[in-house]
Structure formats: structure tokens, C-alpha cells
Structure 1
Amino acid sequence: MITLITVLIVIAAIALILIVLVQNSKGGGLSSGFSSSNAIMGVRKTTDFLEKATWGLAGFIMVMSIVCVMLKPKASSALQPEIGAPAPVNTNAPDLSTTLPTIPSNTPAAPANEPTTPPAE
């Protein structure tokens, strides 16, 4: 059901994008193509239709988004820790935060005061 609502939201969003692109901010756009007054829908009716379609699609997207959130299955409270509660500790994993790397006993350690490379001349 959520997938169907999501698909409807995407289709409505694409239609809204197309309708907004057809409109012109100065009142032209698609309605400017109808120069004669005996057209099927007049200039004024085309502008009214595009404006109503814009508001209708925006409202549809808003309502469907709210419905999609309401239909989303809620996670059980046993899986989510409460706010302020300490995180559960995994006792099977070793604690590596306090261990230091060890140097194998068969490798000689270089003295700290001797340079490892000869000085450049």
C-alpha cells in the first residue's frame, strides 16, 4: 500500500513540475498560444485550469505524504532503546580500546637516540 502511495506521489510531482513549467509568471505560457477568442477553452479558462491544477496537485501530494506516514508500520519499543538509556553492550566482542600493539620478541628494537638514516652532506 505504501508503494502504491509513493508511486502516486511521484506521478503527481512530475505532473506538478510540468504544469508549473507550462505556466508563465506574466500570465502568458500555454494561454498565450490561444490568441483567438473562439478557442476551445479561452485564455482566461486555461489560466484558471492551470492554477487550479497546481493547487490541486500540491494538496494531493501533501495529503498523500501524511497518509503514507500514518500507514508506515511502527517499530516495536523493544528494539529501540529509550532516550537517555545506555546503549546495550555486546559481551561477545573483545574490548580492544585498552590493548596496545605488541612488538614481536624476535625483532630488534632501534635505539631512540641513534638516527636511522645517515646525515646529508
Structure 2
Amino acid sequence: MSTFTIFLALIVVVAFLLIVVIMVQNPKGGGLSSSFGGGGTQQLGGVKKTTDFLDKSTWTLATVMLALILLSNVAINKGGATTDSKALDPNATTTQPLPTIPTAPSAQPITNDAPEAESVPE
């Protein structure tokens, strides 16, 4: 198992946890739950501490995810290539063939001598 695969698995797990933590949070404006009578029951049982935990865990998971994404770039298998681009390499040569110009079939002048149509007897 490569290092990049491990980073990829960790990124997927952190993304799933981040989605769960964000979905559990209550919106700051109260949302629909406060308009249907649920606003009074939210004050019982230390909801403020739960909100602080969810807020801190959101920022922590987002920071961990950003760090994993940046570190996974280091772990990507480059495939053994040493040059990134031939456009940046001044010594690189291209192997594309030059386009060929089609030649004309013959160089005969064009004249207006069309064969005359036979006259039809009336």
C-alpha cells in the first residue's frame, strides 16, 4: 500500500467526519427548529458547550483535511519522470513531422473551351 493511498483513505475519513459534524450543528439564526417551538428546549442540558465542541471540531477537521491534502501532493508517485514539461526544457527536441503540401495534379491552363452542345433539330 503506497503512502498516497493512505493519505487518500485518511482524506475520505476526515471528509466524512466533517460532513457529519456540520450536519449536526444548529444554524446560527435558529433555523426551522426554533420557529416550530424547539427553541426553548435547546437551552437545557448545556447546549452551549456542545455548540463550542462542534465549532472547534469543525475547524480542527477542516485544518486536518487541508494538511492531509497538501501532504498527499508530496506522496504522489511521479512515475520516475524527471522533466515536468518539454516546453520548459531548452534542450528538448520535437519529433513531429512537418506537414506536407499537396501538389497539383498537373499544371495545365484552364480554358473556356467547353464542347459545344449539339443542336437539336426542331
Residue matched to 1:67: 71
User: Given the superposition, is the C-alpha separation of residues 83 and 94 from structure 1 closer, same or farther in structure 2, using an over 3 Å criterion?
Assistant: closer
Question: What is the total number of aligned residue pairs between the two structures?
Answer: 103
Q: How does 1:53-92 map to 2 (within 5 A)?
A: 53-73=57-77, 75-77=80-82, 80-81=85-86, 83=88, 85=90, 87-90=92-95
Structure 2 match to 1:9: 11
Match among 50, 54, 58 for residue 50 of structure 1: 54
Contact 1:13–1:61 (8 Å) recurs in 2: yes
Larger Rg: 2
Amino acid at match of 1:58: A
Question: How far apart, in 2, do the equivalents of 1:6 and 1:28 lie?
Answer: 35
CA shift, 1:3, in A, is: 1.3
Q: CA deviation at 1:76?
A: 4.4
What is the TM-score when the length of structure 1 is the normalising length? 0.58
How far apart in 1 are the matches of 2:29 and 2:84? 55
Change (3 A) 1:16 1:73: same
Distance 2:89 2:62 in 1: 39
Residues 65/34 of structure 1: CA separation in 2 closer, same or farther (3 Å cut): farther
RMSD: 3.7
Distance 1:29 1:86, change over 3 A: farther
Structure 2: any 5+ residue segments left out of the alignment?
113-122
TM-score w.r.t. length of structure 2:
0.58
Give the gaps of 5 or more residues in structure 1. 114-121
